[in-house]
Structure 1
């Protein structure tokens, strides 16, 4: 039996990494093998370049950035497919939905972004958990986590993050590239969010 492909999405400060960790532990407690991926992958050459852009060390055009994010994910495509075929549940903290949302908010064509993603040949996503957090809360959390001087160029731009949220809403309304999208109120507590994720895993 093939494993599930589960994606956790949302803007910066939504608590994606925290919820991915909790869900991994829940699935493993049920005897399942879980493979976890997170993007951008800063250990890769592509991720390093993305990080340099985010912290304003280099400048990239929006189309260059879109392709860089996508290549960072494509490098793992075969591993992800193999994990699923082996029966492992695959849990991804941010996937190509983020790439479409962030780069569309930055000026890349939304429709073109979706067409590129369809060409990747990824298996359909079992479920996308979209943690929808208000931008003000997102920014407060990131400043508290990193300090005001260490937030990256996306995390510190309120108008940009608002536009990213709108693109996420559009992807969800279209049920893009997933069997199911589940929107969760990101202003709820960690425990409440993890409980809602668990309830919607079936």
Structure 2
């Protein structure tokens, strides 16, 4: 009996308004055109009760402590953890707009240690590929609707960008830095090449977990 070829977990990370939604949409359409089973996901998922609490915080209508909002973001990802693993094992590729690394970066810039920020993420599904869309913060500030949510401030975005760059250096085996300041088509071209390659690479490999506890 042939074993179902597993899907890949492909994540897009970057500062706010850096083009993650546009490029993740385009990658999903690329896979659909090739008849590859694919599902588009976005975190936070604001459709759940936890997600609605997060949405209220992000839109500045509810105050929460740094610890509380960090754990809510993590809990929102855990709500979908089993579903994600099941879909991957059934052959569906997941294209995800933001994941654990955003949760870590946005809390770490408030002064929390990396270990504290990483702990609730341990055991979630590890991505096979992470695209970091690097874009100059001054260009982000000029984009539509920048500033409507709590973290959309230039000084925060600069610190977050630095943390994403550190992830790229430390975890270069599955992180790819993409110059997001170019045309949409140029960025898409680089992304598609890497994504197609990874789909082939993971087909016979097991799913791994983020920072598993010994």
1:123-202 map, 5 Å: 123-141=125-143, 144=144, 146=145, 151-155=148-152, 157-175=153-171, 179-201=173-195, 202=197
- Tell me which residue corresponds to 2:101: 97
- TM-score (norm: length of structure 2): 0.85
Q: CA deviation at 1:20?
A: 0.8
Question: Structure 2: 5+ residue runs without aligned partners?
Answer: 198-214
- Tell me which residue corresponds to 2:203: none
Whole-angstrom distance in 1 between the partners of 2:112 and 2:66: 6
- Of 190-199 and 53-62, deviating more is 53-62
2:36 corresponds, among 32, 38, 50, to 32
Q: Secondary structure at the match of 1:184?
A: strand
- Tell me which residue corresponds to 1:64: 68
For the 8 Å contact 2:15–2:161, the answer to whether it is kept is yes
Q: CA deviation at 1:138?
A: 1.3
Whole-angstrom distance in 2 between the partners of 1:106 and 1:190: 32
Is 2:48 the partner of 1:44? yes
Whole-angstrom distance in 1 between the partners of 2:90 and 2:37: 10
- Tell me which residue corresponds to 2:204: none
Q: Summarize deviations over 1:51-81 as a string: whole Å, max 9, x none.
A: 2112221111111111010001100001100
Q: CA deviation at 1:153?
A: 1.8
- Tell me which residue corresponds to 1:84: 88
Q: CA deviation at 1:137?
A: 1.1
Whole-angstrom distance in 1 between the partners of 2:78 and 2:141: 30
- TM-score (norm: length of structure 1): 0.90
Q: CA deviation at 1:165?
A: 0.7
- Tell me which residue corresponds to 2:200: none
Q: Which runs of 4+ in 1 moved over 4 A?
A: none
Question: Structure 1: 5+ residue runs without aligned partners?
Answer: none
For the 8 Å contact 1:130–1:184, the answer to whether it is kept is yes
Q: Secondary structure at the match of 1:136?
A: helix
